[in-house]
């Protein structure tokens, strides 16, 4: 039985394909290490240059780094609980008008820890970036605008989707316990966003409606974090 003739370009194609696989692997590893490579000693130094003497905030920022380090290899449920608990305990809820003398200001985690206070969106953002650092994919996390029905006011929480169609878990500063969204009848979803885009409420994990690059405050937070020394890319 005769063998089929070997294609002259077969070896070259295999080499090229293997090279692309290697390159892709390196790129993915590099992207993961970008988020993982947060130097909190440098963070403290940069924060003092940007914001002045830190005082008690130095301990809060250092504690943030220690908490993240202790959770690096933990399972996702433990990471969610640790991050949610940390910021709910470290920060006191105050309006932006009191903290920043502005009607609406989105703070970085460092800015919130310096103040020791946060509005609802600052809690959600701090938890989002912390979990991204712990290698939770952005597509599993959404910073979600809701209406807090009991308070009759807009509110922001972080939601975690174990799968695209899963009942998301809600990380909230109003209630310390992480609960499924189906158990949070007090919250009415309005819209959500992450690095992948904007989402409107609906079935099957909501549908993507547009690009989160259209959210100017989100882009401002990313720029501020990069200036603080955090490699966060598009979030």
Q: Which pLDDT score is estimated for 233?
A: 85
Q: Does residue 103 have a pLDDT over 70? A: yes
Reported as a single tens digit per residue, the pLDDT across 183-232 is: 999 999 999 999 888 888 865 556 666 666 678 899 999 999 999 999 88
Tally DSSP H helices, then E strands, for the chain: 8, 9
Q: Which pLDDT score is estimated for 208?
A: 64
pTM, 2 dp: 0.82
Q: Does residue 118 have a pLDDT over 90? A: yes
**Exposure on the CB side of residue 186, measured as CA atoms within 13 A:** 13
The helix (run of H) or strand (run of E) holding residue 36 is helix 10-36
Contacts with 138 (C-beta within 8 Å, 6 or more apart), sequence order: 132, 194, 195, 196, 235
- Taken in order of first residue, the domains within the chain and their CATH numbers are 12-227 (3.10.620.30)
What percent of the chain lies above the pLDDT cut of 70? 79
Contacts with 61 (C-beta within 8 Å, 6 or more apart), sequence order: 40, 43, 44, 47, 54, 110, 113, 114
Q: Nearest to residue 196, comparing CAs of 186, 209, 211, 184?
A: 211
């Amino acid at each position: 039985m005769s063998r089929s003739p070997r294609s002259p370009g077969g070896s070259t194609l295999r080499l090229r394909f293997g090279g692309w696989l290697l390159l892709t692997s390196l790129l993915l590893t590099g992207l993961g290490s970008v988020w993982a490579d947060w130097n909190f000693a440098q963070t403290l130094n940069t924060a003092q240059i940007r914001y002045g003497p830190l005082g008690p905030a130095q301990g809060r920022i250092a504690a943030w780094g220690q908490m993240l380090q202790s959770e690096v290899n933990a399972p996702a449920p433990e990471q969610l609980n640790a991050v949610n608990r940390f910021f709910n305990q470290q920060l006191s809820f105050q309006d932006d008008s009191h903290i920043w003398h502005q009607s609406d200001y989105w703070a970085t985690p460092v800015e919130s820890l310096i103040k020791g206070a946060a509005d609802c969106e600052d809690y959600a953002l701090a938890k989002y970036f912390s979990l991204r650092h712990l290698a939770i994919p952005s597509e599993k996390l959404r910073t979600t605008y809701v209406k807090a029905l009991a308070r009759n006011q807009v509110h922001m929480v972080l939601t975690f989707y174990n799968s695209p169609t899963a009942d998301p878990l809600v990380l909230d500063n109003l209630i310390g316990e992480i609960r499924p969204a189906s158990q949070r009848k007090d919250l009415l979803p309005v819209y959500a966003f992450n690095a992948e885009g904007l989402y409107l409420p609906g079935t099957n994990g909501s549908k993507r409606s547009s690009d989160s690059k259209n959210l100017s405050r989100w882009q401002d937070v990313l720029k501020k974090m990069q200036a603080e020394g955090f490699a966060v890319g598009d979030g």
